[in-house]
Amino acid sequence: MKNNHLLQSLGFDAKAEEVYRALLSLADAPAAAIAKRAGVKRTSAYHVLEKLIDMGLVSSYTSRGTHRFYAEHPSRLKKFFEERAIIADRILPELQKDAQRSSRQTSIRFVEGVAGIRGISEESLECKEQVILTIGSSKKYLEYSGGRFGYGQRRRTQGITMRSLRYRHDGSGSSSKRSHEVRLLPDDFIFPGFIIIFDTTVGVVLFEERPRGFLVTSEAFSAITKSIFDLLWNQAKPL
């Protein structure tokens, strides 16, 4: 059975995948035949084929007045992304400079949905200080972020430590006190949300009917939030 979404994980949209795979099956054909096999309009096929030529996955030539296309070996696909990775390595230092400049400025970003909430956790794994602080029910947060997705294991693998203020019903959530220390919030402490603090960024998730939250990147705001965390930490009971 054909997997129609094989290339979409690599950034291909559905139409591009259909056109590319149609040409692979035909090997060499004019645009009309490719469009028919892919089930798209000829104009759309031309547009996609031009992009595939730019990517080095397709070549073209003219024979007896007919413009024809042929697919390069599929290994070109791997080469295309390897070349992009090399380019990314070259431009990354300059982009990091831009990110460092922006990190010194206050910014607020709003997120919605499970993917947006999970993105906060993913971003925390890029922290430079190698320390993550959290406040709130981890059990409830997992519900809003779509469940477990290997976050703890990846955090430990990267050598990032965590300190968490959570509720008794959340459990320990860790097999190593050295990498994750937990203290308990009072049962009557009303906190319908979750806060995650890393570097100069503070992520806030609101436990509402629709998952939503925001991230604030600010040296001043993160310092304030870390001070509040330390105050609660010193008053909380060890797990």
Instruction: Kindly state whether residues 135 and 205 are assigned to the same domain.
Output: yes
Write down the pLDDT at residue 115.
87
Average pLDDT in the 166-177 region? 68
Judge whether 2 lies within some domain.
Answer: no
Judge whether 189 lies within some domain.
Answer: yes
- Look at residue 177 and tell me whether its pLDDT is greater than 70: no
DSSP string covering the chain, please? ---TTTTGGGT--HHHHHHHHHHHHHSEEEHHHHHHHHTS-HHHHHHHHHHHHHTTSEEEEEETTEEEEEEPPTHHHHHHHHHHHHHHHHHHHHHHHHHHHHHTS-EEEEEEHHHHHHHHHHHHTT-SS-EEEEEE-HHHHHHHTTS--SHHHHHHHTT-EEEEEE-GGG----S-TTTEEEEEPPTT----EEEEEETTEEEEEE-SSS-EEEEEE-HHHHHHHHHHHHHHHHHSEE-
Instruction: Kindly state whether residues 125 and 226 are assigned to the same domain.
Output: yes
Write down the pLDDT at residue 1.
40
Instruction: Kindly state whether residues 35 and 147 are assigned to the same domain.
Output: no
Q: How many domains does the chain have?
A: 2
Selection from 83, 30, 21 nearest residue 52 by Cα: 21
CATH code: domain of residue 199 = 3.30.870.10
Residues 6+ apart with CB under 8 A from 94: none
Each residue's pLDDT tens digit, 51-107: 888 888 889 998 888 889 988 888 888 888 888 888 888 888 887 776 666 555 678
Judge whether 97 lies within some domain.
Answer: no
Average pLDDT in the 36-51 region? 90
The residue among 72, 90, 125 that closes a domain is 72
Q: What does the block give as tokens for 1?
A: 């059975």
Average pLDDT in the 140-159 region? 85
Q: Is the pTM of this model over 0.75?
A: no
Instruction: Kindly state whether residues 60 and 134 are assigned to the same domain.
Output: no
**Structural domain range at position 227:** 105-238
Average pLDDT in the 213-233 region? 93
- Look at residue 175 and tell me whether its pLDDT is greater than 50: no
